[in-house]
């Protein structure tokens, strides 16, 4: 379990994390989302003692990370897959980590096989692709068979098979009762992997709820209804808090009530229904709604007309004082 209470981090006049309080519970995959600059990496670094909080506390399995006598057995961490001596082989890197905790070579071979590194285990890490580097980082995180896993963008650089492997692995580990804290920018993947979501925006926790609850909030209570008698159904649903919008002939979108209530109203009015579907928003939609006011870096608009063959949005702005 990871518990943060009032966790704050300031760098001079910049507040990277602002009184964040949350719990990452065992037995589920907790997704960690937020725009660039929201404070996700800073939070993960403070969890494992790489950054010291300005205020507040954070514990892992009941203790600050630094107080664990054998941290690899408590917490497995992947923050930067490139933080490896490029001249070492994958096997040598893992054996060196294992030696710090008295972990035997048999366990090293287990994680090599588990992460699919067997064919490249004796090759230098400097020649690894991004995906293979990620697999090595995951292998290092699993080395001590920890109760808590913290993985920052673990699917970055992985092919579809690798993404599926990570998804299956973290859900399997969570099913064993372990704590899994996972960040990613791939909303579709997070929707399939996470049970619970924590969202940061400008250093503040702006959402902390099960995925199903976040999706429900995003979708509201919209229900799609298809009927050959749309006018009669709209009249039957007339109520102060209910809105009925006609999408096309015979197709309505209804908000402010539920699918069962619509079905009962249709039955009372003798209206035939061909479709009655509660609409569920995507995690991407929910995320964009949640972070709309907390994005620090905004993209520009669509490309404009080219000037001398260079798209307008890509052309460098003239330097101050330069001739125009």
Q: What is the pLDDT of residues 277-313, one digit of tens each?
A: 987 666 777 667 766 665 555 555 555 555 444 444 4
Query: Residues 132, 86: contact at Cβ < 8 Å?
Result: no
Residue 43 has pLDDT above 80, yes or no: yes
The fraction of the chain above a pLDDT of 90, given in percent, is: 64
For range 166-177, the mean pLDDT: 94
For range 44-50, the mean pLDDT: 95
Question: Which of 8-17, 142-151, 156-165, 257-266 has the weakest average pLDDT?
Answer: 156-165
Per-residue model confidence (pLDDT) at position 298: 52
Cα–Cα distance, 48 to 53 (Å, whole number): 11
Cα–Cα distance, 248 to 89 (Å, whole number): 62
Per-residue model confidence (pLDDT) at position 132: 92
Residue 246 has pLDDT above 80, yes or no: yes
Cα–Cα distance, 92 to 201 (Å, whole number): 40
What pLDDT band is residue 266 in, cutting at 50, 70 and 90?
very high
Per-residue model confidence (pLDDT) at position 215: 74
What pLDDT band is residue 323 in, cutting at 50, 70 and 90?
very low
Domains of the chain, CATH where assigned: 2-216 (3.40.50.300), 223-278 (3.30.70)
Per-residue model confidence (pLDDT) at position 322: 43
Query: Residues 53, 75: contact at Cβ < 8 Å?
Result: no
What pLDDT band is residue 225 in, cutting at 50, 70 and 90?
very high
Q: Would you give the end-to-end CA distance of the chain in angstroms? A: 59
Per-residue model confidence (pLDDT) at position 220: 58
Question: β-pairing, 55-60 with 2-11?
Answer: antiparallel
Per-residue model confidence (pLDDT) at position 293: 63
Per-residue model confidence (pLDDT) at position 295: 57
């Amino acid at each position: 379990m990871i518990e943060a209470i009032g966790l704050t981090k300031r760098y001079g006049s910049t507040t990277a994390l602002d009184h964040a309080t949350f719990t990452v519970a065992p037995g589920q995959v907790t997704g960690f989302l937020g725009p660039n600059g929201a404070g996700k990496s800073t939070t993960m670094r403070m969890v494992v003692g790489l950054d010291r909080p300005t205020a507040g506390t954070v514990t892992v399995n009941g203790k600050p990370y630094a107080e664990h006598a054998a941290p690899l057995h408590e917490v497995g961490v992947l923050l930067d897959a490139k933080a490896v001596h490029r001249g070492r082989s994958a096997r040598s890197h893992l054996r060196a980590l294992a030696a710090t905790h008295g972990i035997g070579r048999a366990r090293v071979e287990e994680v090599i096989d588990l992460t699919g590194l067997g064919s490249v285990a004796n090759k230098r890490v400097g020649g690894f692709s991004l995906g293979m580097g990620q697999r090595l980082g995951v292998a290092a995180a699993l080395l001590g068979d920890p109760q808590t896993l913290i993985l920052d963008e673990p699917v970055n650089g992985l092919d579809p098979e690798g993404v599926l492997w990570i998804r299956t692995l973290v859900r399997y580990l969570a099913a064993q009762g372990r704590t899994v804290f996972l960040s990613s920018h791939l909303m579709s993947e997070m929707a399939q992997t996470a049970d619970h979501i924590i969202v940061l925006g400008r250093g503040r926790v702006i959402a902390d709820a099960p995925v199903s609850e976040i999706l429900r909030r995003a979708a509201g209570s919209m229900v799609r209804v298809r009927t050959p008698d749309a006018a009669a159904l709209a009249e039957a649903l007339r109520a102060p808090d209910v809105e009925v919008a006609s999408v096309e002939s015979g197709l309505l979108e209804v908000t402010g009530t539920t699918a069962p209530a619509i079905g009962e109203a249709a039955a009372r009015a003798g209206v035939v229904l061909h479709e009655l579907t509660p609409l569920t928003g995507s995690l991407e939609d929910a995320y964009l709604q949640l972070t709309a006011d907390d994005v620090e870096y905004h993209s520009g608009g669509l490309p404009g007309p080219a000037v001398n063959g260079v798209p307008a949005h890509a052309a460098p702005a003239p330097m101050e004082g330069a001739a125009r």
